[in-house]
Amino acid sequence: MSDITGERGMERRLPKFFRRIDPAVATAFGCILLLLAVGSIYSTSFLSVEYLLQQLKVASFLGVIATGMMIVILLGQIDLSVPWSVAVGGMMACAAAAFGHVGEVLAIPFGILCGMAIGLANGVGVAYLRIPSMIITLATNAVAQGLMVVYTGGFSPQDSATTAMRYIATGFLVPGVPNAVIIWALIGAAAVFALTRTTFGRSVYAIGNRERAAYMSGIDTRRVVLIAFVVSGGLSAFGGVLLAGYASKAAQSMGDTYLLPSIAAVVLGGTSILGGRGSYLGTVAGVILITLLQSILSVMQMPEAGRQIIYGVVIIAMLLLYGRTPANR
């Protein structure tokens, strides 16, 4: 008993800032510093400003996708349709660009709307039909894959990204700062505001903690869940638009490598996989950590299978450390 009292007294003596730091977030930032140190051993340019900005640009694509994933995970749900939501967003944006000047203007919003349509199907299935999110999102992912294979005839898409898509992914509105990083910062700021300053954000945390209690308190839980999945689908598709602009064209497999990293980044940042707990700062740390880890594994020439194993181990480790709080449903 005295040990517990002593620990609480020591905690009270710490500055308020340190008492509010999430241990998972602090751990993630500590791992980032460790990876930077390890990376500098393999390459002397690893700590250069140019290289770090390049890593931030690469991280921004994952960051946009992980933002939507975080909102869904805060609900205690999961979105496994990310791979083909990303691909559909990029492919449909490029497809729209083939229809002249009007198509080029509408390419980006059209790609995002296609992703939102996938999210709408997921949200209706989870919120109104009460289908487990793991099942419905896997199903919509398979349907989206089939539709894109039919559309392309099984071959690589021939449509190219628009000038606007390439500019927002690779250009520099602010000298020295990639546009993709600015876009991620704006989306992140909007996410922080929505989650901390709006009724929607409070409802997301409430549903994640205990959905039945949230419903009994007057929250329209089905509408909140629906909106969350639509946002996730739209952000995944927007990530696909950015990737298509970065590569100047879309590819059928462009989203395959973003499912596990997006989940790992969210969980690594301290968001509970059971829902109801997590901060966007942690997701930012998780995204940067995953990106740096990918960079180091590339330098080490780690095969893709090895990377997937590492992501899985990371998720399991974070579940063991921070995700074993009983679910109150």
Give residue-wise pLDDT tens across range 273-297. 888 889 999 999 999 999 988 888 8
- The two tokens of residue 126 are 């989870």
Cα 144 to Cα 257: distance, rounded to the nearest angstrom: 16
The model's pTM:
0.89
> What pLDDT is stored for residue 17 in this prediction?
45
Mean pLDDT of all residues in the chain?
87
Helix (H, G, I), strand (E, B) or coil at 158: coil
Topology of domain 23-322 in CATH is ABC transporter involved in vitamin B12 uptake, BtuC (1.10.3470)
Q: Report d(CA 71, CA 279) in Å as an integer.
A: 10
Mention every residue, 6+ apart, whose C-beta is less than 8 A from residue 275.
Answer: 73, 74, 75, 76, 77, 207, 208, 209, 327
Helix or strand or coil: residue 325?
A: coil
DSSP SS3 for 177: strand
Above pLDDT 90, what percent of the chain?
A: 59
Higher pLDDT, 304 or 25: 25
The model's confidence at residue 3, banded by pLDDT at 50, 70 and 90, is: very low
Residue 245 in tokens: 């602009």
Task: Identify the residue whose tokens are 């970065």.
Answer: 246
Local confidence band at 312 (pLDDT 50, 70, 90 cut-offs): confident
d(CA 142, CA 323): 29
Q: How confident is the model at residue 176 (pLDDT cuts 50, 70, 90)?
A: confident
Q: Tell me, what's the pLDDT at 319? A: 67
Tens of pLDDT, residue by residue over 141-171, are 999 999 999 988 877 777 889 999 999 999 9
| For residues 36-42, average pLDDT | 83
